[in-house]
Amino acid sequence: MGGRANQGSGRGSKGRWNSNKKNSKTGEKKPSKKEMKFQTLKAQSKHPGSTFATFEELKDDCCRRLAKKKLDSPADIIGSVKDTKLKDFSDSSKAPRKYSNIVGDDDQKKLENEQFAAEWTSKNKEWNYAKRDHESNNLNLHATIIDMCADEMLEELRHEADYLTTLYENPIELLHRIKKFMTVSDAADYPIFVVINAIMKAINTRQVKNETVAEYKRRIEANFSAMYALSGHDFLNKFTKTKDEYICRATDPEKKSYLDATSERLMASTMLLNSYKPTHQSLTEGFLKTYSLKHLPESQRNQFPTTMETCGIVLERNEAIVLEAAKRKPTPNKGGDTKGKNRDKGKPNEEAPTGVAFAQHGGKGGGTSGVTCFCCGKKGHTCDMSSNRKAVSSSWACVDPNDVTIDKTLQRVERR
C-alpha cells in the first residue's frame, strides 16, 4: 500500500506547493526572514541587526503596517506618526459656527444663518466621525507598536508608572518612550553612564552578516549622532593636534579644516574597522600594511578613507570583488573533486604503463582455487599471499626479462 499519498509526495505534504519548505539535506525548515523588533540598548548587542537604526526607520515601519490594515480615516493616524504628534480632537478644534452680519434685511440674514448652520452641522458631524475613527485607530496603533516590541522592551515599558494610563492612551508618547530605551541605558539617571553607553554603542557598531553597506552606514551615522549630541564633535581635538598629520599642515586654514574633519574620520575609521571580517578583513590589513611604510610621505602611505561616503564606496567595491572571486573559484563536486578535474575520466592515460597489470585478484566468487600466483607460479593463492614475494623481482614467475615496461610496477609490488 505504498502509494503516493503515503510517501508524502503530494501537494498536501512535501510537494512543490507546500509553503513549509524543508532543506533537502538536513530536513529542517528554512528559516524565515528575521523580523525587526524594538530592542533596548542592552539587548541590541545580543541581537545585532534585529532593531531599527534610526527613529525615522521606526516610524516608517509603523506607517507601513498601519497602511496595510483596513482602517477608517487612516491618513490622520499615519500623519500623527510621521509628525510624532497626535492630531487635536478637543472641542476647541471644532470648526467655529458662523453668523450672518447682514443689516437691514432680516429675511436674507435669516436665510444666510440657516446656510451657516447647515454647513456647521455637516462639518461637526464629519468631525465627530473623524474623532471616533481616530480613537479607534489609536488603539490599533498601540497594538501595532506593542506587537513590534521585543520581550526586553516590553519588560522595560511595563515598569513605567504610566504604562496603563498615558502610554496606553497616547501611542505617540509610547514611541518616544521606546526611543528612549533604544538609545539610553538602564542607568539613565547617572549622566556619566549615559555618555559612556552612547560612546560604547557608537564604537561597537559592527556590520553583521548579509547586512548591506548602506544599512550599516545608516546605523553608524545614527549611533555617532547620538554620541556627538552628548560629547560634542571636538572631544578628539587635543589628541589630533599632537599627530604628525596635523602638524605637517602648512597653513592655519589647512590645520583648521583637518581638525574639523576629525569626527568624520572617526566615523569612517570605525565603519572600516568594524566591517564584516570574512569579507573586508584583507582590505583593512592592506591599508595597515601601506601605512606601515614609514619611508613614504604621509600623503602616500595613508590610504584610509576619511569620509563616510568614501568608506561606503570602498566597502561596496571590495564586496563586489570578493563576490566575483567566489564565483570564479572552482567548487568541489560530490566526489570531492574539483570541476573539470575528471573531465577526461575514462580516456586512456598516455603515461600509464602498457605492460602487465600487477593488480592480481581472485577468481569468480572471490575464490583462489583457479588462480596462479605471479610470484612463484603456483596455483591456489595470489601474489600478496606468496612466500616468494620478497624475492628479487627478476626471479618472479610472471616476469619476461625482455619486457622493460613493467619495471616501475615491479618496484611498487616489491615495497608491499
Domain extents in the chain:
41-95+105-183, 213-328, 357-416
Residue 332, SS3 per DSSP: strand
The model's pLDDT over 9-65, given as tens digits with 9 standing for 90+, comes to 444 444 444 444 444 444 444 434 456 777 776 666 565 555 676 778 888 888 888
Rounded alpha-carbon distances, angstroms, from residue 393 to 313, 362, 374, 376: 69, 21, 10, 11
Residue 293's CB is within 10 A of a number of other CB atoms, namely 10
Residue 141 confidence (pLDDT) above 80: yes
Q: Read off the amino acid at residue 146.
A: I
Please provide residue 103's backbone torsions phi and psi, each rounded to the nearest 5 degrees: -115, 130
- Helices 55-68 and 74-83: crossing angle in degrees, nearest 10, is 180
Task: Give pTM, 2 decimals.
Answer: 0.45
List of residues 6+ apart from 193 with CB closer than 8 A: 185, 187
Inter-axis angle of helices 74-83 and 106-147, nearest 10? 70
Q: Could you tell me the three cell numbers for 351?
A: 603515461
Residue in 113, 115, 116, 123 with CA at minimum distance from that of residue 93:
123
Nearest to 90 by CA among 141, 120, 127, 123: 127
The residue among 323, 312, 318 whose CA lies nearest residue 214 is 312
Query: What does the block give as the cell for 337?
Result: 573533486
Confidence at residue 180, expressed as pLDDT on a 0 to 100 scale: 79
Cell numbers at 282, concatenated: 584583507
Higher pLDDT pick, 103 / 280: 280
